[in-house]
Amino acid sequence: MHKVVWDMDPGIDDALALILALKSPEVQVLGITTVAGNASVEMTSANARRVLEYLNAGSIPVAMGAANPLNHPLEDALNHHGPDGLGNCDLPPPKVPLHPDKAWDFLARLVWDAPGEVALIATGPLTNVAYAFRRNPKLPELMARLVLMGGAYRLTPYGEGNRTLYAEFNIWQDPEAAHMVFNSGADIFAVGLDVTMDPAACLTSEHLGQIKTGHTPAAHLVAQLVEYQVKHHGCCRMHDPLALAMLLDVSLLDFKLARVEVVKGNDWNRGVTRILPSVGSHSIHVACAVDGPRFLELFLSRMLEK
């Protein structure tokens, strides 16, 4: 079983990933930290707790992090995720208070407490992770690994940008943080648009029909989240659940070892993740293929299970 600490910005697909994790014996979520990305950090912090409390997991602590990227103002994605960040679902506001620590201190402590045992999952902009690494330079080597959703690497026909022509949303939002994290020496597994935009790994209205036959609380919530995406965007992309998936069953994804340059700055190339010709120090594992049907089968069966 993987012990994980999870930095997220829920967001519909972050929420789908969290629900999948709570239904999966392969992972134990020790704590959650929240970052601004899809929505303000206040909203992402509320959304993480709304989901946890609904699924009787309110004992998992949530610590709030950065309200803004390191060098840029926040540009949220509420146009994609709905005005509450969760597709206007019927979850009530949270009751459990936030953990008193700042996200980066909380995250670092969970890793320090069990050196080499805790994996970090990051499914939002990497601002909190960058702060944690800056304050604790030994942290990258103390983590079991860092699994992140981010980047567009042009390794498949789907590996183009979604925020700009060339850049993926999480990396584009805070390229300075991503640059620091990608060069930190952590054992990174990057799951980017090359696999998450593969149509075979996307939930359609047919899958939604199957989810609606479920009578579990998870199925009830997932149906609302997926329905919002299908209605507004034609299908439901599974970006963040696919990052989690590598911890559930590593055979679902293929990875290629590569050295990646993250382009910082303000220009047209902000947030580009460029694969460099040679493998060298600070190479990372980049996802280059996914078994979409098998991933969706896993997701659906966990959602429909009692």
Q: Catalytic residue at 239? A: yes
| 198 counts as binding ligand BDR under rule CB under 6 A | no
Q: Does 240 bind ligand BDR (CB under 6 A)?
A: yes
Whether the CB-CB separation of 7 and 129 falls below 8 Å is answered with yes
- Alpha-carbon gap, residue 303 to 215, rounded angstroms: 10
Q: Are 260 and 127 in contact (CB under 8 A)?
A: no
Quick one: which segment of 11-19, 84-92, 205-213, 254-262 binds ligand BDR (CB under 6 A)?
11-19
Nearest CB to ligand BDR, comparing residues 123 and 128: 123
Query: In sequence order, what DSSP letters do the residues of 78-118 get, joined into one string?
Result: HHHH-TTSSTT--PPPP-SPPPSS-HHHHHHHHHHHSTTTE
Burial 3-20 (b: 16+ CB within 10 A, else e): bbbbbbbbbbbbbbbbbb
**The dihedral sign for the CA sequence 248, 254, 256, 261:** negative
Q: Which stretch binds ligand BDR (CB under 6 A): 9-17, 203-211, 215-223, 281-289?
A: 9-17
Could you give the count of Cα atoms lying within 13 Å of 159 in the half-sphere of its Cβ?
22
Catalytic residue among 2, 80, 179, 239: 239
Crossing angle of helices 239-248/292-304, nearest 10°? 90
162 binds, among ligand BDR, Ca ion, none (CB under 5 to 8 A by kind): ligand BDR
Nearer to ligand BDR, 105 or 272 (CB): 272
The residue from 169, 182, 189, 299 that contacts ligand BDR (CB under 6 A) is: 169
- Separation CA 157–CA 128 (nearest Å): 31
Q: Show the binding pattern over residues 237-276: x = contacts Ca ion (CB under 5 A), - = does not.
A: ---x------------------------------------
14 near Ca ion, rule: CB under 5 A: yes
By CB under 5 A, what part of segment 64-123 binds Ca ion? 123
Binding stretches for ligand BDR (CB under 6 A): 11, 13-14, 38, 77, 123, 149, 162, 168-170, 239-240
Q: Annotated catalytic sites, by residue?
A: 239
Binding stretches for Ca ion (CB under 5 A): 9, 11, 14, 123-124, 240
